[in-house]
A and B are shown apart, each in its own frame.
Chain A
Amino acid sequence: MFDSPMQRAARATPPEIARRIRGLSDRTVAWIFVSPTILLLLAVNIFPLIWTINLSFTNFRANRPNRAIEYVGFENYQRILTDGDIWLTMQATAHFLFWTILLQVLIGFTLAWLINRKFKGNDLWTTIIVLPMMLSPAVVGNFWTFLYQPQIGFFNYIVSFFTGVDPASFQMIGDVPLAPWAIVIVDTWMWTPFVMLICLAGLRSIPGYIYEAAEIDRASRWRQFWTITLPMVLPFLMLAVLFRGIENFKMFDLVVQLTGGGPGSTTELTSINLKREAFEKWRTGYASAYAVILFVTIFGLASIYVKALNKVKER
């Protein structure tokens, strides 16, 4: 009546299979359980990676699969690294990365710091602040196009309320100097809550008695912040930067919905540019080389960063 799950499993196994399994070692059984995952991983992850590297040395075009494939050596790589347009998209990506991370860290940390105080309804406020993060990026991109409308847009009216400029006099999405900032604002709006949550976890991990000891040791609020709060939240903050950095390096959906890479190619981030090369111009070999370069860049930057993060954690 009170069987253990193991006994029940043993009874449920057909005798035919049970007889065959009995002779296997633990290691073999472990491999049997792990192999489906490994096969899946090889099929959808590792194989495409190797295949992409292979394609990056060819002139293959996916819309002409029957054409003979020629190996062109490093020609694709050479063309990419000397292409001025690609450097422009890299610059656009760097601008987007730098400002989104900076703003999200500053605002996110401040919000976390404010919400970490004990006040009535801070759970409710946390939920409200976190809402943008729960929306689909496509939806966010879409409705911000309405907020940015020069005639009816809420955003333009708010700016006009504070600065007095005519709301119809500027287009966040349409003007070349403003468009890069339009995507920075939306991404910050959407993902600051994420940084806030991570900072909040960091702040909550600092035990209260450390602040009590500091107060007895006559450290001012300012000194407590710089010598206790910031160093102890720093590993969390760096983790948030890592997550946001990786995410925004491959930013696609939000920006495509919002600006489509325009006007011209001012907001054409690398992943949008890459998609264009691969699936609009169908230069598959060239795009593969492009993808490999991006992968190496992001992988290199991330490993350097993780090393620094571990050093901070050890401190």
Chain B
Amino acid sequence: MSEVALRNVSKWFGRTLAVDNVTLSIPDGAFVVLLGPTGAGKTTVLRLISGLERSDAGDILIDGRSVAADTPARRNVAMVFQQYSLYPHLSVRDNLAFPLRSPILRTPEDEIARKIRHIAEVLHIEHKLDNRATELSGGEMQRVSIGRALVREPAIYLMDEPLSSLDAKLRAELRVELKRIQSDLGATVLYVTHDQIEAMTMATHVGVLDQGRLVQFGSPREIYEAPVSLYVAGRLGLPRINTLPAEIFAGAPKGARTIGLRPEHIETGAGRSTKVMRVEHLGDQTRLHLRLDGHDIVTLRNGGREPEPGETIEIHPRNPLYFDASGQRIA
């Protein structure tokens, strides 16, 4: 496993700047999650590291060695694509063996068989090994794709939303499994996702991309508790952070335009009165939809009596986040 670094990397597609001067260091053994909406450049960063795309500026280093001019094969990276990129005419077993049969590796056949058996057990596909790739369900195909990356011991695993096509149960299962495999192997992983639970639970570091720029990089806690901007604050947290004009509550610092309230920033019992519009029971949590001066607020009930819809309750902020007119955080 290796340390991977990007230095001032930029990539243009025609006249669109897909990756804008990104500098990022992925420590050895880290699980780095890239967050950002569609088009933020997450996948492009993966493809630049893998060598499927060449950067227009900057340098990419694996273990301190520049790989910017290398082919994907010479970079020694494994990648799980978002779509099932299996070899359709091969069996599951041969798909898993494909990277191991590369002449660069020269793995003996009994070693290949042993590795495939192990990976198939981990991913629960041992009974499908002799099926053809096209005879699998979507979830099984994606597990084989993941398995094809895991049989190798590359410098870095690149994963592009590998769990997004799976059903909720399998996704939760594989999330835990992937994290366990990663920490067992001490593997370096760069992982792209939309799913904030994946980001929060798996990542050692989170990078947030906005229109090709890396706007914040830090631990999941840092990103959640101390976002640098309104944009970053909106990436994590469920229910999403509530954003209201800063003057709604007293005590806003000078220059603040927006106040950001996560559920834990909202205390009930005193302050401004709001109307309870709706109460949602999600089983493990209860969401309250409130309305204050024409603004919607979603929060969680934290103990106490459950309010009825139509009722009025008082709320006040506690240690909220403040942002200026450009969306940068000021307090």
Contacts and interface: CB of A to CB of B under 8 A. Distances in A.
Interface of A: 209-210, 212-220, 223, 227-228, 231-232, 315
A220 B105 CA distance: 12
Contact of A218 (B85, B86, B89, B104): B104
B87 A218 contact: no
Given A210-B88, A215-B73, A217-B148, 8 more contacts: A213-B85, A215-B52, A215-B72, A216-B50, A218-B76, A218-B99, A219-B98, A223-B103
B79 interface: yes
Interface of B: 50-52, 71-73, 76-79, 81, 83, 85-90, 98-99, 102-105, 132, 148
Contacts of B76: 218
Contacts of B50: 216
Given A215-B73, A216-B52, A210 B102 contact: no
A185 to B, nearest CB: 35
B88 A216 contact: no
Contacts of A223: 102-103
B89 A231 contact: yes
A210 B89 contact: no
B87 A210 contact: yes
A311 to B, nearest CB: 13
A212 B52 contact: yes
A228 B105 contact: no
B83 to A, nearest CB: 6
A215 B71 CA distance: 8
Q: Which of A209, A217, A231 has the most CB of B within 10 A?
A: A217
A218 B81 contact: no
B78 A216 contact: yes
A223 B148 CA distance: 17
A216 B77 contact: yes
A213 B102 contact: no
Contacts of B71: 215
B52 A218 contact: no
A232 B89 contact: yes
Nearest to B71: A215
Contact of B102 (A219, A228, A315): A219
A209 B98 contact: no
B79 A227 contact: no
A218 B88 contact: no
Q: Which of B77, B88, B104 has the most CB of A within 10 A?
A: B88
Q: Which of B52, B89, B90, B102 has the most CB of A within 10 A?
A: B89
Q: Which 5 A-B pairs have the closest CB atoms?
A: A217-B99, A213-B85, A218-B73, A218-B102, A215-B72
A213 B83 CA distance: 11
B72 A218 contact: yes
Given A215-B52, A215-B71, A217-B98, A209 B89 contact: no
Contacts of A214: 87, 98
A218 B90 CA distance: 17
Contact of A315 (B79, B89, B105): B89
Contact of A228 (B72, B77, B79, B87): B87
Given A213-B79, A213-B81, A216-B78, A227 B105 contact: no
A215 B86 CA distance: 13
Contacts of A216: 50, 52, 72, 77-79
A140 B34 CA distance: 62
B24 to A, nearest CB: 20
A217 B75 CA distance: 11
A76 B78 CA distance: 69
B144 to A, nearest CB: 11
B98 to A, nearest CB: 5
Q: Which of B78, B98, B148 has the most CB of A within 10 A?
A: B98
A231 B51 CA distance: 26
A209 B47 CA distance: 12
A87 B52 CA distance: 58
A315 B94 CA distance: 13
Contacts of A215: 51-52, 71-73
B142 to A, nearest CB: 13
B140 to A, nearest CB: 17
